[in-house]
Amino acid sequence: MKPKTSADARAALSVERIGGIEETSVEFVPSVNVLQGRNATNRTSLLRAIMAALGSNDVALKGDADQGSVELTIQGVTYTRTLERSGNTTTMSDDPYLEDSTLADLFAFLLESNEARRTVTRGDDLHDVIMRPVDTDEIEREISEAERRKDELDNQLAELRTSKERLPELQSERVSIADELTDKRADLENLREELEAAESGVDEMQAQREAYQETLTELNDTQAELDEIDRKLDNKKTQREALQNERSDLREERSELPTSVEEINELGQRIGELQERRRALGSLLDRLQNIIQFNEEIIDNADSELREVVVPSDEDTDLTDRLMTEQDLVCWTCGSTVDRSEIEDTLEDLQEFRQEKMSERKDISDELNDLRERKRETEKKQQRREQIDQQLQQIDDRIEQQTQRIEELRDRRETLRERVGELERELEEAKPERDDDRVLELNKRENELALTIEELESDLETIGAKIDDIEADVTEIPEIEEERKSVADRLTDLRNRINDIEADAVEAFNDHMENLIQRLDYDNLERIWIERQETTVRDGRRSIPKTEFDLHVVRTTADGTAYEDTVDHLSESEREVTGLVFALAGYLVHEVYDEVPFMLLDSLEAIDSNRIAALVDYFEEYAEFLVVALLPEDAQAVDEQYHRVTEI
């Protein structure tokens, strides 16, 4: 986790008129750098100078200076910050190591004022500090975009698979049309040979035949257009019917998805009530445990200091005689003598009551899980209902367009039918007076066959193009499936990202806190850990989910019994260690070590020397340059091989 750096890759810092420093130059080595000195020896000023060079704005000019600067050279690159005072304003310029120091300010620059440390000591919102660098709004936007893209890909795949299923039918139809076209071409060839034989020697009535032929050609063209209109009408009706069927299916599906907004709100409210009840039960269980432990200690330990406090004393009576015989005890609440078994029975009742409440809390947790699942399913149905409403609107628009086009085609068909009737009457009137009806009949059949062949060729070309398009589209299915898988994986990753960061932060804190408690060996401190809790809060008129980090403290009694304490009871040393470990968790979860090579520690005086040494050894594993400010007596406890800076 710590970047690998050669042992001689030192960092050089030059400072002028920053904090309490007039001018100084210092070198740092990879590993631990101890700033050793008494208070008011500019150790904190030097740390803030490092922060300034790395990009932080939490730095001040020397009180009597209008300009100051700091230069940091690391791995051959120099980073410079210049500070200038103008009236009550100080401006910074030049080129720091970081463009944005937010992560480093929170989790790497661990001075006394560091917000991560102070959040623990003040008991503020831990979750807010850990999640502050995460742009949750951007993640939600990316989730919406990924969901939209996944829906698009699902629709594409459905259409392509439907088209693929039609391929065998279309290919069979193409073979049938091709066979029919071959037969019609042969018929036309035979007819033309017959017509040529019939026309030989016939030169009369040419003008009449030409006029007749022109009328016949127009009739054929008009009839062809009429046939084309009929085909278009059939096609449009088929399309409209398909849309109407789709609309019916969607309406049926929609009818099975009742409006669920109110149910979602009710579920959210119920979840909030159960969470509140579970927290109340947790508090009750803690109080019951304390009561039980208190009474057990009074009963079982005759030398207990608690017994001396709660039981009235008699200077002439031995304490043990006053409190306990074989069967009787003096009640420490009312002072009367009661049978020992009565108190023990009462304690058993309390323990049974506590078990009942623990069972109730488990039942509530199970119900919460069920309600959350129901809420997710209901929200999914509501989303589908809204999607269907949108699809229905689009289908209604398309049906209206198809209906309008059908009416236009019907009007055109009626006009063409009237024209066909007129042309047929003209042909009847324009028949040649001489007996060449056979030639005219053959000409008519020739035109009809030629028209049929044109239609078949057009149909063959159309169906061939349709098959080619489908075959080309079908080849895209694997690529679309791969993209859909990628989008689905990304969607899962986005949905889990915030939870993963929260879980990783909690795990990192709990693991490192456990390790350090073992190393630092605090008396009766068993465990300090963070529990991630989901709650519901009001946002205007809405109830929205919110995640909280609850800090727990577990101690042990002299006989090894564990009990939960409060954060307020932590010693100053324990609080400071907890704050540092919380900052370390953020440092690791947000991979701050990839952003900045320094970690800075200051204001550790509340921790005793040996524990400071253990803490420094532990943190050294995670930072390339660990710079820690220590008093001389504390510095003596750390590894003597660590680099030390004694003059600033």
Class of domain 11-101+596-645: alpha beta
In this prediction, residues 594-604 reach a mean pLDDT of 96
601: left (phi over 0), alpha (psi -120 to 50) or beta: beta
Bigger pLDDT: 2 vs 376:
376
CA dist., res. 572 & res. 592, Å (int)? 27
pLDDT tens per residue across span 222-261: 999 999 999 999 999 999 998 999 899 888 888 888 767 7
Highest mean predicted confidence (pLDDT) among 39-43, 162-166, 637-641: 637-641
Domain with CATH 3.40.50.300 in the chain: 11-101+596-645
In this prediction, residues 498-511 reach a mean pLDDT of 88
Helical ranges in 521-635 per DSSP H: 572-589, 609-620, 632-635
In this prediction, residues 31-41 reach a mean pLDDT of 93
Q: Are strands 625-630 and 598-601 parallel, antiparallel or unpaired?
A: parallel
In this prediction, residues 607-614 reach a mean pLDDT of 95
Q: Are strands 31-36 and 643-645 parallel, antiparallel or unpaired?
A: parallel
One-letter amino acid for residue 388 of the chain: I
Bigger pLDDT: 204 vs 296:
296
Bigger pLDDT: 1 vs 575:
575
Residue with tokens 């030169």: 203
Q: What's the confidence (pLDDT) of residue 435?
A: 47
At residue 128's C-alpha, the angle toward residues 90 and 264, to 5°, is 140
Reading the block at residue 99, the tokens are 């463009």
At residue 438's C-alpha, the angle toward residues 437 and 440, to 5°, is 65
Reading the block at residue 638, the tokens are 């750390």
CA dist., res. 173 & res. 247, Å (int)? 29
Query: Does the structure show a pLDDT above 60 at 321?
Result: no
Which of 257-261, 519-523, 554-558 shows the lowest per-residue confidence on average (mean pLDDT)? 257-261
pLDDT tens per residue across span 413-465: 999 999 999 988 888 877 655 546 777 888 888 899 999 999 999 999 999 99
pLDDT tens per residue across span 373-394: 988 888 888 888 889 889 999 9
- List residues bridging with 359 in a β-sheet: none
Length of the chain: 648
How sure is the predictor about 315, in pLDDT bands with cuts at 50, 70 and 90? very low
Q: What's the confidence (pLDDT) of residue 319?
A: 44
At residue 97's C-alpha, the angle toward residues 75 and 68, to 5°, is 105
In this prediction, residues 459-480 reach a mean pLDDT of 90
For helices 572-589 and 609-620, angle between their N-to-C axes, nearest 10 degrees: 0
In this prediction, residues 547-573 reach a mean pLDDT of 88
Which of 17-21, 51-55, 300-304 shows the lowest per-residue confidence on average (mean pLDDT)? 300-304
The gap between the terminal CA atoms of the chain, to the nearest Å, is 31
pLDDT tens per residue across span 119-159: 998 989 998 998 888 888 888 898 889 999 999 999 989 88
In this prediction, residues 549-560 reach a mean pLDDT of 88
pLDDT tens per residue across span 100-128: 999 999 999 999 999 999 999 898 999 89
CA dist., res. 340 & res. 333, Å (int)? 14
Domain with CATH 1.10.287.950 in the chain: 205-435
DSSP state of 61: B
Helical ranges in 475-538 per DSSP H: 477-520
Largest CA distance in the chain: 160
Reading the block at residue 637, the tokens are 């406890």
Residues of the chain with pLDDT > 70, as a percent, come to: 90
In this prediction, residues 327-347 reach a mean pLDDT of 73
- List residues bridging with 544 in a β-sheet: 537
Q: What's the confidence (pLDDT) of residue 320?
A: 44
Which of 313-317, 413-417, 552-556, 611-615 shows the lowest per-residue confidence on average (mean pLDDT)? 313-317
How sure is the predictor about 68, in pLDDT bands with cuts at 50, 70 and 90? very high
The reply to whether CATH 1.10.287.950 applies to domain 205-435 is: yes
How sure is the predictor about 177, in pLDDT bands with cuts at 50, 70 and 90? very high
CA dist., res. 129 & res. 119, Å (int)? 8
Query: Does the structure show a pLDDT above 60 at 349?
Result: yes
Query: Does the structure show a pLDDT above 60 at 303?
Result: no
**CA 579 vs CA 19, 111, 120, 575: distances in Å:** 25, 11, 5, 6
